Amino acid sequence: MKRAFKIIHTETDAHRLIGETIDPRNNRLAASDFTDILHVSKACGAWIESVVLAGGGKNTGYGLNFDADTNACHAHNIHVESGRKGAIRIQGSRVTLIGITITRPGKKYDIVIGNRGGARVRETTLANVCRSDGRPVRILLGNADKPKIQNSHVEHLFWESIWLKTILLFR
C-alpha cells in the first residue's frame, strides 16, 4: 500500500497546488491502494487552492493530511471526500482552511486536529468550512489548541476528544 496518491513535500520552498482534481480513479488506480489522497509533508508555506480531492473511501485514511512537520500551510476552496477515518487530519501548526466543503462525511468525525503525541498543534483556523449535506462538521481535538472558527457550522466531539487526549497521554 502506498502512502498517498499525491504528496506535497518540500523543506525549502513554498509549494503551490492550484486548480487540480486529484482522483486516483482517473488513473485507473483503486483509492484503496493509498492511505491518503493528498498528503502534505515537511512543507512550510504550502498553498492549496481550488482543488478537488476525490476517491476517498472506506479503505483510504484521509482526503487531506497535514503532517506534524508542516507549518504555515493554507488550503482555500477545497472539495474533499472523506476516507474511512475522516476528511482532514491536521498535525502541523498554523494551518488555515478556508472555504472547505466535505462532500462525503467520515464515519465518526470529519476533521481531526492533533491525534498524535509530540508537539502540540497550534494556531489552526477553520473559516467557511461545511459539509455538503448541511450537517455540522464534526471536529475531534487531541493534542491541539482550540482552533479559531469563523462562519462554520461545527460540532466539537467533546467526549471523543477527552478519550483521544487520554490515549495520547499514555503513548
pLDDT at residue 40 tops 90: no
Mean pLDDT of 6-13: 58
Under 8 Å between Cβ of 94 and 73: yes
Under 8 Å between Cβ of 52 and 76: no
pLDDT class of 106 with cuts at 50, 70, 90? confident
* 153 vs 169, higher pLDDT: 153
Q: Mind giving me the DSSP string for 34-58?
A: EEEEEEEES-BS-EEEEEEE----T
pLDDT tens across 44-84, in order?
Answer: 888 899 988 886 665 567 888 898 888 888 999 999 988 77
Share of the chain above pLDDT 90, in %: 27
Mean pLDDT of 123-134: 93
Q: Mind giving me the DSSP string for 98-153?
A: EEEEEEE--SS-SEEE--SSSSPB---EEES-EETTSSPEEEEESSBPPPEEES--
